[in-house]
Amino acid sequence: MVRIPEENGPRVRARELGLPLGRFKPGKYNAITDVEGVLVGHTTIIEGSGPLRPGFGPVRTGVTAILPNLGNIFMERMSGGGFVLNGAGEVSGMTQLMEWGLIETPILLTNTMAVGAVSDGVANYLVQRYPGIGDEHDVIIPVVGECDDSWLNDISGRHVRQEHVVAAIDAAKSGPVQEGNVGGGTGMVTCDFKAGIGTSSRKLPEVLGGYTLGVLVMSNFGKMHNLRVGGLPVGEVLVEKFKNTPHRGKSYGSIIAVVATDAPLLSHQINRLCKRVGLGIGRVGSYAAHGSGEIVVGFSTANIIPRRTQKMVYKMKILLDQRLDPLYEAVMEATEEAILNAMCMAEPMTGVNDNYSPALPLDEVRRFVDACRPIFASVKKRPHQTSVPASKERPSDEDREGEVTLGSALPTQVRGAEGIPFPTRPAPNEPPLDGPP
């Protein structure tokens, strides 16, 4: 095996490489925690080296916990949804999530063989905190996503324990999020380079609602030749350099993504938002291979659905479907950047049987980006710019999305789901709006 000498410089996030990563600005931390109330914690398990001894190691795995609503998600639930692009993977609890449209447990990420242990750990954690579960309250099905880290980890040894789950939940906090070889992403690989946990966020301009959206991924998919970095075919360039470095061969891998937003969305809208995560994954080079699992879970923090109430109804804020387009674009951008952050921040790793996963060579990426920088500079465009020429007279049916605030948008200023201005004509047997009574 030939190992490429590693770079000596520090690992940095994708944005620091000067990549073209979309037109919307990130939030303060450029992380899912930019959505108020969202917390993230990790437990990382790295033990042993050398030949694989099932049950003994080497161990390269962990647990990542995403807590909506400052961790009080059991009593104060939120609207949720999801999407399965390719189903060669698992997120336990997703059947109920899609049926009810509710998130009511923390969301945990780990390796494939640890899903049961992690689910059990979450259940124990919640039962201890809320003793009425299964009696006073309904039972729970924790939301736990997985990817296969067996290239680097003794996955069949099932080294994740309940204490690791509790530690990840207890460590969850707001602010910057650790990325790369941490938590559930410890043993994960993307496009034959070391990856793991990555996150990114977008803050929409006020004219588009001012909402914040964040994505966190556990990235473990793809082959080197497919890798695109900022739209550039970096993987095709690096294949020759790494041609003598052994790669994971039997598995294409998977990716689990978690989307959070403070936009007031219903479950069906969250489902639609989660679909667009697949477009962001595709930007990095995935084609959702037969053996891959691209599964997305999403939630909105804008509305609380209480577990206890004396009322028979509750009120919700709901964003117009016609106002979703900026969120679709933002989630695609944030997903792409989250995956690249996982790769850019990950250090090289040696795991079971001395299997080796190199880090993405950032100097090579910088050189590629610098060579293309004149092209990037010529196409930069501000988010609120429009391609419509300035004119005092606008067609009455023109789609003015992005040019009016949500508060001032009248029904006639937006289009219906079918793209037809509403209203178009008076209802049958009714006089025209401008006609005689």
pLDDT tens sequence across 57-74: 999 999 999 999 999 999
For 18-308+317-346, which CATH superfamily applies?
L-amino peptidase D-ALA esterase/amidase (3.60.70.12)
Cα dihedral 135→308→130→297 (10° resolution): 110
278 band by pLDDT with thresholds 50, 70 and 90: very high
Strand ranges (DSSP E) for 301-409? 305-306, 349-350, 356-357
Please write the tens of the pLDDT for every residue from 404-416.
Answer: 444 444 444 444 4
Alpha carbons 136 and 131: distance in angstroms, whole number:
8
The answer to whether the CB of 153 falls within 8 A of the CB of 61 is yes
Of 104, 146, 294, 329, which is the active-site residue? 294
325, 332 Cβ separation under 8 angstroms: no
What is the H or E stretch that residue 162 is in? Answer: helix 162-170
Q: Which of 174, 200, 292, 357 is an active site residue?
A: 292
pTM for the full predicted model: 0.87
Q: 305: buried, middle or exposed (CB in 10 Å: 19+, 13-18, 0-12)?
A: middle
Average pLDDT along the chain: 88
Average pLDDT over residues 180-198: 98
pLDDT of residue 411: 43
State mean pLDDT over 296-315.
91
Q: How many residues does the chain have?
A: 437
pLDDT at 386 over 60: no
| Whether the Cβ atoms of residue 295 and residue 87 lie closer than 8 Å to each other | yes
Mean pLDDT of 382-393: 43
| Separation of alpha carbons 380 and 392, rounded Å | 27
Kindly provide the b/e burial profile for residues 342-355, where b requires at least 16 CB atoms within 10 angstroms of the residue's own CB: bbbbbebbebbeeb
Q: CB within 8 A of 411, min separation 6: which ones?
A: 422, 423
Locus of tokens 């680097």: 152
Instruction: Give dist(CA 380, CA 360) in Å, integer.
Output: 26
State the DSSP H helix or E strand holding residue 368, giving kind and residue range, or none if neither.
helix 362-377
User: Which of 92, 150, 254, 300 is the catalytic position?
Assistant: 254
User: Is the per-residue pLDDT at 100 higher than 80?
Assistant: yes
Using the predicted structure, report yes or no on whether residue 98 has a pLDDT greater than 70: yes
**Predicted local distance difference test score (pLDDT) of residue 413:** 45
Indicate if 254 belongs to the active site.
Answer: yes
Least confident of 90-104, 208-222, 391-405: 391-405
Query: CA of 126: how far to CAs of 19, 71, 122, 131, 139, in Å?
Result: 42, 11, 6, 8, 10
Angle at the Cα of 154 (from 152 to 155), degrees rounded to 5?
A: 100
Nearest to 250 by CA among 288, 290, 281, 216: 290
